[in-house]
């Protein structure tokens, strides 16, 4: 039986909020130049003023000795040398532990068991989560580590001796993305070095003094896997876009390092973030909450406490609502609020109530992702009853329909007297009616909280229903916190929208494609000619709008472009559009057809035109025979496409919904035609376009648009809306209602002409300042070229989705390739300089490699050029084609490391026929030859190495953790003090990764 250590228990719990209510920056600011070293010293001095202890330690041995002392202090114990060595080797720095294993230890298993010399056991806390002020905070700087290269880290915060927060600083004026990139280099080169304690870092802070951001370790880890092309199956946030600003409770960003230090690094704030506001999900990704999410969760907890103390249970005063815009992470916020409420001793149950069965399924999946088994979902009212009667079922997810059926069936039940927290997701009007009244009448001791991205105000409340319960505030009480779409876009937590208003109504003058108000009659809108023209427009512009020329890595796959939803006004419209897609595509080869799905179900008020989207149920038996038969036929098409066996019967239709939603998220479908389904509550980061032939306004408009604006990568810069109805005024009104009167200028992209003017100016600057054929001399000129061409890449990425841009590119395709080749050459040079000098001197250089990759040239294109080259060999034209091959390879990030392979193949190929087959044979031979060379050079286990690589090509990634790599390495004792096992492992991984990148996708 383990011994419970003595604890310091506080006399009174502090109710200090994690996020400061309002931050007022210092009025007087220094004007003198500040070096990076001076910035670092000022930061450390600030932390010391906030009661952090400074330690002048810079070595692994010192770090370990301090860790021992801190754990002894925290746990009121003394380790013998033998106890410490065993505990350290097994419970802290296991030889096979990496970032994920160490993160799991802190987040899920922070109490480890010490086996004492006398045979007894004792619990050892690595961090005290119950009483955070028992933890000690120390700060170190310029810590030295030698891995692949010798490195020195800027500033690190130790919690009980473990490095848990690392701060990377750059001098003012330098892009903070360089600090992000520097941390990438540390992870690759040295975080794992020595005892690997720096792999305990949970949070990273990057700052140039002026701008400061924070992010979790697995965002960094995921970014590295993405950059290296290691296509692991674990879902990862993978770029600088996922770093977060800190802010006060009014959503005012705190960007200056001094203010950030005073607030984020306040002891109680930092320890709360580490112990309460991080979620280590089942995908093994650490999610650190943003300030507005933390504020909302704490406001809910504070309201529970005050309402309980003031005996306000069972009234609107006991609850409130959270207005956080769609896409800002409401599910994570509600989960954390539910999880923390569940832990309160006075709370018996937490009910999370959603509006529809599809949202029930989605929410359950999200909650399960955050914590397996955290919540109980119910398939029926009978199951709900069992859960309500089960004391161990603490968080229950249910639909309002099931809950209301339970209430109607049970006039009396013990759960009505329980102390419950009821959280409503998307608390819009359906929850304001009779069901809401009945539920609140039955339960006696409740707190009612609502989450919504689009509240119901007096302006959009309508006139139906109980006049005392028409607005969100009337039904749920006070507004506890606000984070609007303007806040989210300003913080870059969601993307802005780009909207085209397009119509294809025939007039006597012909077809007018742009800026023509739609004729608002269903007869005209459903005319076969118009349906045909809309489908034709979508097919012709699909690749452009969804960026199918762009490639990126996501969720373990290499994807080309994004996908889309098509929102129709009615089931009849959805049927006609689906039939038209089938007709227009039937003559095309399968590979060239868009993969189109269709889903709809019965909606009681389908024809009602209002700001709320009609709620489609899952009861397909309520559809008319014609609509159900049509849907069955469309599902049969889907089954043929994906090898499934769904239909419109109850269970199979639900499974069809789930399967279709997954294929949307993994971009296996190109377009799904819907009426209302998927337009609320559905999140897919790969979705960038909404085709809308539906009147939308207010709540429903923002909800539908917001399906497209989830952040994914630098290629996806906005949500794309193509409206076949005139929704311009409705859009402006909705943005003013849910943002502010100036929201339009923030939420919508600028007009095409603004971007194109900027593009023209930058191209002129490029051609004048850096003419092709002229060398770029000097580091300053090279940096200027990199900055200029990067801005051109960003502009072109936006412009390509505008119809007007076609044929207006200015540079020819060849000129653009040549400039891209120069850009990639500089990228390679700057990287090699950084490698050679251990620490990069090029701290102010940021490359837009992700945008370069979106215009990738693939092997198929090169083989086509090779075939052309062979046919023209000896004619004089072959030299030009050969030059085109070289130019295309040089302009491609993924083909540059295969350049020698391609050139050798061109020199060796003899026959003009079956070039592809010759290429496959050539690649297979060279691949085998190079692998055998690596095996010999590194003295690897040959059979294990071949199996390791074969599995990597099968799975699409080189596994960097686990035991697979250790079976490949030559035999050596991991625990010998004299061996360099970690460096050897990294060296082999680097070589095998380079080999994998060179050959992956070639055969």
Q: Which stretches does DSSP call E strand in 314-359?
A: 320-324, 349-354
Helix (H), strand (E) at residue 155: strand 150-159
Residue 637 burial class via C-beta count within 10 angstroms: exposed 0-12, middle 13-18, buried 19 and up = middle
CA angle 76, 77, 83 (to 5 degrees): 150
What fold does the segment set 752-853 form as a domain? Methane Monooxygenase Hydroxylase; Chain G, domain 1 (1.20.58)
Query: How far is the CA of 824 from the CAs of 666, 728, 827, 883, in angstroms?
Result: 30, 42, 5, 18
Q: Per DSSP, which regions of 160-304 are E strands? A: 162-169, 203-207, 212-216, 278-280, 286-288
What pLDDT does residue 517 have?
A: 44
CA–CA dist 185, 842 (Å, integer): 13
Distance between CA 3 and CA 124 in Å, rounded? 9
Burial readout 786-803 (b: 16 or more C-beta within 10 A, e: otherwise): bbbbbbbbbbbbbbbbbb
CA distance 231 to 69: 41
The domain segmentation of the chain, as residue ranges, is 36-288, 291-483, 490-711+722-747, 752-853, 859-913, 926-999
Domain 490-711+722-747 matching CATH 3.40.190.10: the answer reads no
Q: What CATH code is assigned to 36-288? A: 3.90.1570.50
Contacts of 835 (CB under 8 A, 6+ apart): 149
E-strand spans in 576-649?
596-598
> Does the fold of domain 291-483 match that of domain 36-288?
no
pLDDT averages per 10-residue partition of the chain, 1003 residues: 42 64 80 85 96 92 95 96 95 86 92 93 95 95 78 92 95 85 72 84 94 82 45 41 90 94 96 94 86 96 94 92 89 89 91 68 65 65 87 84 87 92 74 68 91 83 66 89 91 90 57 43 84 94 86 70 94 96 94 94 54 67 92 96 93 91 92 92 90 90 92 86 91 87 81 92 94 89 91 88 86 87 83 55 64 61 74 73 75 72 80 76 85 89 88 73 77 53 79 83 64
Q: Which residue has the tokens 């859009």?
A: 731
Instruction: Name the residue among 236, 323, 330 with its Cα closest to residue 290.
Output: 330
Q: What's the pLDDT score for residue 9? A: 39
Which among 342, 354, 363 is positioned nearest to 447, based on CA atoms?
342
- Asked if residues 103 and 218 have their Cβ atoms less than 8 Å apart, the reply is yes
Count the neighbouring beta carbons within 10 Å of the beta carbon of residue 80: 11
Find out whether 353 and 398 touch, Cβ atoms under 8 Å: yes
Tell the CATH topology of 291-483.
Answer: Rossmann fold (3.40.50)
Give φ, ψ of 914 to 5 degrees.
Answer: 50, 50
The whole-number pLDDT of residue 894 equals 65
Give, rounded to a whole angstrom, the gap between the first and last alpha carbons of the chain: 58
Could you tell me if 514 and 500 are in contact, meaning their C-beta atoms sit under 8 angstroms apart? Answer: yes
**Residue where the block lists tokens 């025939």:** 506
Q: What is the pLDDT of residue 644?
A: 95
CB-CB contact of 534 with 527 (8 Å): no
The answer to whether 673 touches 568, Cβ cutoff 8 Å, is yes
In the chain, helix, strand, coil percent, each to 5? 50, 15, 40
pLDDT on residue 797: 85
Q: Is the dihedral of CA 972, 975, 979, 980 positive or negative?
A: positive
């Amino acid at each position: 039986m383990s011994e419970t250590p003595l604890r310091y228990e506080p006399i009174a719990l502090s109710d200090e909020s994690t996020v400061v209510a309002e931050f007022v920056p210092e009025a007087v600011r220094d004007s003198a130049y500040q070096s990076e070293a001076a910035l670092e010293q000022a930061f450390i001095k600030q932390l010391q003023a906030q009661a952090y202890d400074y330690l002048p330690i810079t070595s692994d041995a010192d770090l370990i000795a301090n860790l021992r002392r801190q754990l002894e202090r925290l746990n009121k114990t003394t380790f013998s040398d033998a106890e410490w060595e065993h505990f350290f080797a097994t419970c802290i720095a296991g030889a096979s532990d990496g970032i994920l294993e160490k993160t799991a230890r802190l987040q899920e298993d922070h109490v480890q068991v010490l086996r004492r010399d006398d045979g007894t056991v004792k619990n050892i806390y690595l961090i005290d989560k119950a009483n955070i002020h028992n933890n000690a905070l120390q700060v170190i700087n310029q810590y030295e580590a030698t891995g692949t290269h010798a490195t020195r880290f800027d500033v690190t915060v130790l919690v009980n001796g473990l490095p848990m927060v690392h701060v990377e600083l750059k001098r003012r004026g330098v892009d903070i993305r360089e600090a992000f990139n520097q941390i990438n280099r540390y992870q690759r080169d040295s975080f794992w070095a020595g005892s690997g304690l720096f792999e305990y870092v949970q949070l990273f802070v990057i700052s140039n003094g002026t701008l400061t951001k924070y992010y979790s370790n697995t965002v960094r880890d995921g970014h590295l896997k993405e950059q290296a092309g290691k296509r692991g199956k674990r879902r990862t946030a993978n770029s600088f876009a996922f770093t977060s600003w800190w802010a006060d409770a009014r959503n005012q960003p705190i960007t200056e390092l001094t203010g950030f230090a005073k607030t984020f690094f306040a002891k109680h704030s930092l320890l709360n973030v580490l112990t309460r506001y991080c979620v280590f999900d089942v995908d093994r990704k650490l999610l650190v909450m943003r300030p507005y999410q933390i504020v909302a969760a704490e406001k809910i907890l504070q309201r529970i406490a005050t309402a309980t103390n003031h005996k306000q249970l069972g009234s609107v005063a006991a609850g409130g609502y959270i207005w956080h815009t769609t896409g800002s992470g409401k599910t994570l916020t509600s989960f954390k609020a539910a999880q923390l409420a569940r832990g309160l001793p006075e709370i018996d149950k937490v009910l999370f109530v959603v509006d529809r069965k599809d949202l029930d399924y989605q929410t359950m999946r999200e909650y399960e992702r955050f914590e397996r088994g955290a919540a109980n979902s119910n398939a029926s009212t009978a199951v709900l009853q069992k859960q309500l009667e089960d004391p161990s079922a603490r968080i229950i997810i249910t639909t309002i329909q099931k809950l209301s059926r339970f209430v109607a069936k049970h006039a009396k039940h013990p759960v009505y007297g329980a102390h419950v927290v009821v959280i409503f997701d998307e608390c819009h009007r359906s929850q304001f009616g009779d069901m809401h009244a009945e539920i609140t009448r039955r339960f006696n001791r409740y707190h009612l909280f609502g989450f919504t991205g689009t509240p119901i105000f007096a302006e959009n409340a309508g006139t139906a229903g109980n006049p005392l319960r028409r607005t969100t505030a009337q039904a749920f009480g006070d507004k506890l916190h606000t984070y609007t779409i303007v806040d989210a876009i300003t913080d870059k937590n969601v993307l802005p929208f780009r909207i085209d208003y397009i119509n294809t109504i025939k007039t006597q003058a012909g077809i007018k494609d742009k800026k023509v108000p739609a004729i608002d009659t269903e007869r005209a809108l459903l005319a076969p000619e118009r349906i045909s023209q809309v489908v034709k427009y979508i097919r012709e512009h699909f690749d452009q709008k969804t960026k199918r020329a762009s490639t990126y890595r996501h969720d373990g796959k290499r994807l080309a472009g994004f996908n889309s939803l098509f929102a129709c006004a009615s089931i009849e419209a959805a049927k006609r559009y689906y039939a038209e897609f089938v007709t227009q595509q039937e003559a095309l080869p399968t590979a060239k057809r868009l993969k189109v799905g269709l889903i709809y179900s019965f909606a009681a008020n389908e024809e009602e035109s209002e700001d709320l989207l009609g709620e489609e149920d899952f009861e397909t038996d309520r559809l008319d025979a014609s609509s159900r038969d049509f849907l069955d036929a469309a599902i049969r098409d889907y089954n043929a496409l994906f090898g499934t066996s769904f239909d419109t019967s109850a269970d199979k239709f639900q499974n069809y919904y789930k399967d279709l939603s997954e294929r949307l998220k993994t971009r296996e479908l190109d377009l799904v035609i819907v009426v209302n389904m998927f337009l609320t509550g559905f999140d897919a980061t790969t979705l960038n376009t909404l085709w809308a032939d539906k009147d939308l306004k207010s709540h429903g408009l923002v909800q539908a648009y917001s399906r497209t604006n989830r952040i994914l990568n630098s290629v996806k810069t906005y949500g794309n809306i193509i409206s076949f109805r005139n929704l311009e005024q409705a859009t402006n009104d909705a943005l003013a209602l849910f943002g502010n009167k100036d929201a339009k200028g923030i939420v919508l992209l600028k007009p095409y002409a603004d971007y194109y003017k900027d593009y023209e100016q930058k191209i002129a600057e490029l051609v004048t300042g850096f003419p092709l054929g002229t060398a770029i001399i000097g580091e300053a000129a090279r940096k200027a070229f990199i900055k200029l061409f990067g801005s051109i890449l960003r502009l072109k990425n936006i412009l390509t989705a505008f119809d007007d841009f076609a044929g207006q590119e200015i540079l020819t395709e060849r000129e653009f390739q040549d400039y891209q080749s120069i850009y990639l050459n500089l990228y390679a040079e700057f990287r090699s300089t950084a490698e050679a000098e251990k620490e990069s001197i090029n701290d102010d250089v940021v490359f837009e490699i992700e945008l370069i990759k979106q215009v990738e040239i693939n092997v198929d294109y090169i083989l086509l050029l090779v075939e052309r080259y062979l046919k023209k060999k000896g004619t004089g034209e072959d030299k030009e084609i050969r030059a085109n091959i070289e130019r295309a390879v040089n302009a491609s990030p993924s083909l540059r490391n295969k350049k020698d392979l391609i050139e050798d193949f061109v020199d060796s190929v003899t026959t003009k026929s079956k070039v592809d087959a010759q290429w496959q044979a050539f690649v297979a031979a060279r691949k085998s030859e190079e692998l055998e060379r690596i095996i010999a050079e590194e003295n690897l286990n040959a059979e294990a190495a071949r199996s390791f690589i074969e599995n990597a090509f099968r799975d699409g990634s080189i596994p960097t953790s686990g035991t697979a790599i250790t079976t490949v390495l030559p035999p050596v004792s991991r625990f010998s003090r004299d061996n360099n096992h970690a460096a050897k492992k990294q060296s082999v991984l680097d070589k095998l990764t380079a080999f994998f990148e060179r050959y992956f996708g070639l055969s």
